[in-house]
Structure 1
Amino acid sequence: MNKPLFLRIVHRLSTEVPYFQATEDAAGRRSLSPLQKCTAAIRQLAYGGGADTVDEYVRLGETTARKCLHKFTAGIIHLFADQYLRRPTPEDLDRLLRDGEERGFPGMVGSIDCMHWEWKNCPTSWRGMYSRGTGKPTMVLEAVASHDLWIWHAFFGAPGTMNDLNILDQSPVFDDIVEGIAPQVNYYVNGREYNLAYYLTDGIYPKWATFIQSI
């Protein structure tokens, strides 16, 4: 995470979530700073460590670190869900289609792919289900991202032994299309009209109308 983004998150939380606001006790001693609390939460999320792993780094006890993580995730959902943690609106879809067409991909609404995240503290009894190749247990994240790195679809937690196709079979990425509530899309390529938006993918994905393998 870059510094401007981190400071932006800290600022929003410290001004709009009471738990992250610095206070003083009766003796005039200041409480933990918003930087300490946010750093503790992000380190737990980034490294997958327990609440007792940040005690020396940010001077927080295990109970306080766990509470920081809970308040941080709740605050992120409350403050940023309407802007970031959501599916595209019709206005967003128009913008994505316009941006894609300007870059030579009419009808493209994003790139889809899967990535493996190492699970450092995976329970021993689950290691076989979450390990493949290197033997290190991983969880898989399926994501759709636009050219400006807006990740508007994320399906996380599938065992690391699964590949992109197994995960696609479980993913809700096409639920709107299956249920018939997906926004209508119309665009032309070589004089032919199409009404399904598509994703850019790599070669493992099937030859569906909603997937175009990148060159």
Structure 2
Amino acid sequence: MSNWSSDPEVDEMVEEEVDNIVGEIQYNYTHQDVPSAPIFRRVHINRDREEGHTRLWNDYFSENPTYNHRMFRRRFRMNKPLFIRIVNTIENGVSYFRQRRDATGRLGLSALQKCMATICMMAYRCSADAMDEYQRLAETTAHKCLEKFVE
């Protein structure tokens, strides 16, 4: 097998260039100019979304709810069958309102929780910020949130 170059001077130049490139790569690898950014992990805040859904269901939609039909109508400005029909229609038609798992596998808010907050925002003309505490539903149920808007 013959050498591609018979000129020792060319061989030396190529070898020197390869050594320079390898040396530069090694230097850049061991001497990074920009320090890597620290990785910040987000802290998980357990908002008891499942418990919030259960409390909401028990307060308004179970067979023996905490609040009767009259109180429901007063708070949500519609009767319960209409409200449930709206929730079902929205859940089936708009993907945002379907309950999904987040990137960590935890369940998000239920369709009932999302629709409840949205309908309250429309009924009482309040901003999403005012409903933020309500959507958590771990500390409060819908009646506590709405009491500040009713009466």
Q: TM-score, normalised by structure 2?
A: 0.36
Q: TM-score, normalised by structure 1?
A: 0.26
The structure whose residues are more often helix, as a share, is 2
The structure whose residues are more often strand, as a share, is 1
| Structure of greater Rg | 2
